[in-house]
Structure 1
């Protein structure tokens, strides 16, 4: 990047929101509220991490923590998911209350201020209590209430979280994962009010759902293609993260987190979904990108050498990388190796994120991190990576917010 050029304002395609305590009391229809999620402040016991999963318990004598109670689920907020403002050594698995969090975690006006101070113009936020693609509601026993919760969350997301932001907070909606026809209806309902992003599982079979190869999800993919809705798949959206050993520390999972994105992308490249739906767009959130060049090379080699016995001769007419470059977006926040391989990753396929307010977040140093990664790149490439590709992917109308010098008006 030319050192004399001002860094473009960032469009972050992967951030997170901590749900306010009033969400379901305000947005869930009254007849469901006593069976819907209930906010609670209570003590938390010691958290254990075993085989890639947390074991959590309440303890009246433990540190105060904000929870959601829903059917049999007890869901606490933890410091590592509301980490901005804490030192690295304080970003633990201890419980936390909203009062202890930075206000931008759950207040949209405060979030906009934190974005402005961080050189970020716009942000797409994934859910926390519903989990990354709405697994919380998919696992619920009462599906009538669960459907109402999905719709209530989406109404809050569109009308309250994003509503007064002037387009700077970008709505990302859920679907009822347990019923594809209901999912299609929710895609259309939200697309009609301008939503262009939905969150989905990177590996649905890990959730006990049909695979993308089965054809079950084709109506969902068709609706997303028709409405221009991007399918966003966050690492961990299959409720299972890679862990080399059952007793491995969480650091192993954190290092291997890209593995599910790589597996999911390979699944899609050989599924025929991208052949059948050539205008469908997929986005891999927080998956990073340094692994993509070899994954594409290997997929193309397998297609050339093994497509007959590999079962894809009649399904994938062109090398798999063809569909990647046409329809898939990567996302990163720190990935020097990926930037060094940008020609292969694809200058039109890369988007940027800040991961606010998680442990990995680059807030409040996103501008410095971006400048370091973009050093030596042409200004037009920097623009694409930091904002242009996201604007195109999500059909955003954002440059109206900037003056002639690229600063927020």
Structure 2
């Protein structure tokens, strides 16, 4: 295409600088809050969908990494966290230090420069150390400290990562204290008051020991999201489980099946009745791709039509699930030619584009080329909606595609 629209990526990632919590927690808590130490990697595996790193003791030999330490958790920075700039054959499951990653992973100025290289105007970024929906803090023993950590992250996200230096090009994505729906609602409203229009949530909360979306437990949170216009963003792996088939299945199995959690999650939401109870609610599935969506919608409609009487949904799912999908759900993709060939069965207004920077799957720095090749059959106005227009509307951006909260005084 002679003139391709500037991309708004709804799924990129930030590697948090080491001072995020050290600088924002009360002085008495800085030595027990999340902090970075440099240590050897004794062992690291990713098998059966489970990531299992082991930190070496002081003085141990071996490859060195920067580790986040928090309560009993020791989590290293890895090459999979930030792989852009490396050839595919060089990407290994290994620990790294900040010096060994591309600076755009954690630096605002360098991130904007890498976005320029990739034809990206604006980007919504998921967390790294907190994990994709803040489950690191939900699993913590000290809930008072965990709540302060969630708030500190959101303050850093709004004030620094998406602050004036970002020129409105970085779009804030908040966390909530998942262990308390009332506190989660309060945090949604606190952030919405300063322009945040997206919040992380788990694709399958019961995998985290949390209530499902079928009951009423999450209603205070859902109501806050609806009333504030906050979209619920669910990233693959935000249930702390990647799809796998056996305890010894290589990571490639889970990588090929990353969409599966989104598939299960969407069935949950469509059969929960929440979209009828909260008609202004909107959810998005980050990095789940879109090619699987048409069949799930077809199957969900069939089940609703033929089996709702005994299926437990007749009194709460009041219309065909595909109708609820069209009004409430967005699928996100970065490399899905099949899905784009079946866009009419998904809905032009229900898809969003992403680049997944700086992860190993990222199309950076060729996201424009990938999009041009896969969207060559689409009309220019459709391309415009997919690449940026839908994101502008969903995230409440300016007509120019910027976050207004990041451009003010």
The Cα shift of 1:51 comes to 2.1
1:48 aligns with 2:59: no
- Unpaired segments of 5 or more residues in structure 2? 403-409
1:28 aligns with 2:25: yes
1:359 counterpart residue number: 360
Q: What is the correspondence of 1:76-115 to structure 2 with a 5 Å cutoff?
A: 76-115=76-115
Tell me, in whole angstroms, the C-alpha distance in 1 between the residues paired with 2:331 and 2:52: 32
1:312 counterpart residue number: 313
The Cα shift of 1:137 comes to 0.4
Q: Which range moved further: 31-40 or 73-82? A: 31-40
The Cα shift of 1:39 comes to 0.9
Tell me, in whole angstroms, the C-alpha distance in 1 between the residues paired with 2:46 and 2:231: 33
Q: What is the correspondence of 1:184-203 to structure 2 with a 5 Å cutoff?
A: 184-203=185-204
1:275 aligns with 2:276: yes
1:168 counterpart residue number: 169
1:74 counterpart residue number: 74
* Secondary structure of the structure 2 residue equivalent to 1:248: coil
Tell me, in whole angstroms, the C-alpha distance in 2 between the residues paired with 1:292 and 1:58: 40
1:136 counterpart residue number: 136
Per-residue CA deviations over 1:108-128 (Å, capped at 9, x if unaligned) read: 110001001100000000000
Tell me, in whole angstroms, the C-alpha distance in 1 between the residues paired with 2:16 and 2:90: 22
Per-residue CA deviations over 1:265-295 (Å, capped at 9, x if unaligned) read: 1100000001100110100000000000000
Per-residue CA deviations over 1:218-252 (Å, capped at 9, x if unaligned) read: 11000000000000000000001111111100000
The Cα shift of 1:101 comes to 0.4
1:343 counterpart residue number: 344
Per-residue CA deviations over 1:112-162 (Å, capped at 9, x if unaligned) read: 010011000000000000000001000000011000000000000000101
Q: 2:225 touches 2:281 (CA, 8 Å); kept in 1?
A: yes
1:153 counterpart residue number: 153
Tell me, in whole angstroms, the C-alpha distance in 2 between the residues paired with 1:330 and 1:294: 14
The Cα shift of 1:398 comes to 4.8
Q: CA RMSD in A?
A: 1.0
1:16 counterpart residue number: 13
Per-residue CA deviations over 1:27-55 (Å, capped at 9, x if unaligned) read: 22223212211111111123122321122
Tell me, in whole angstroms, the C-alpha distance in 2 between the residues paired with 1:109 and 1:334: 27
Tell me, in whole angstroms, the C-alpha distance in 1 between the residues paired with 2:142 and 2:220: 24
2:121 counterpart residue number: 121
* Secondary structure of the structure 2 residue equivalent to 1:26: coil
Tell me, in whole angstroms, the C-alpha distance in 2 between the residues paired with 1:195 and 1:390: 14
Q: 1:168 touches 1:398 (CA, 8 Å); kept in 2?
A: no
Q: Which range moved further: 84-93 or 353-362? A: 84-93
Q: Which range moved further: 23-32 or 259-268? A: 23-32
The total of aligned residue pairs comes to 398
Following superposition, which runs of at least 4 residues in structure 1 exceed 3 angstroms of deviation?
none
Per-residue CA deviations over 1:188-214 (Å, capped at 9, x if unaligned) read: 100000000000000000000011111
The Cα shift of 1:400 comes to 6.9
Q: Which range moved further: 45-54 or 92-101? A: 45-54
1:250 counterpart residue number: 251
The Cα shift of 1:22 comes to 1.1
Q: 1:11 touches 1:121 (CA, 8 Å); kept in 2?
A: yes
The TM-score normalised by the length of structure 2 is: 0.96
1:406 counterpart residue number: none
Per-residue CA deviations over 1:326-378 (Å, capped at 9, x if unaligned) read: 01000000001100000011100010000000000011111111111110210
Q: 1:167 touches 1:398 (CA, 8 Å); kept in 2?
A: no
* Secondary structure of the structure 2 residue equivalent to 1:351: strand
Tell me, in whole angstroms, the C-alpha distance in 2 between the residues paired with 1:326 and 1:48: 41
Cα 1:257–1:400 shift into 2, 3 Å? closer
2:180 counterpart residue number: 179
Tell me, in whole angstroms, the C-alpha distance in 1 between the residues paired with 2:224 and 2:19: 31
Q: 1:133 touches 1:200 (CA, 8 Å); kept in 2?
A: yes
The TM-score normalised by the length of structure 1 is: 0.96
2:233 counterpart residue number: 232
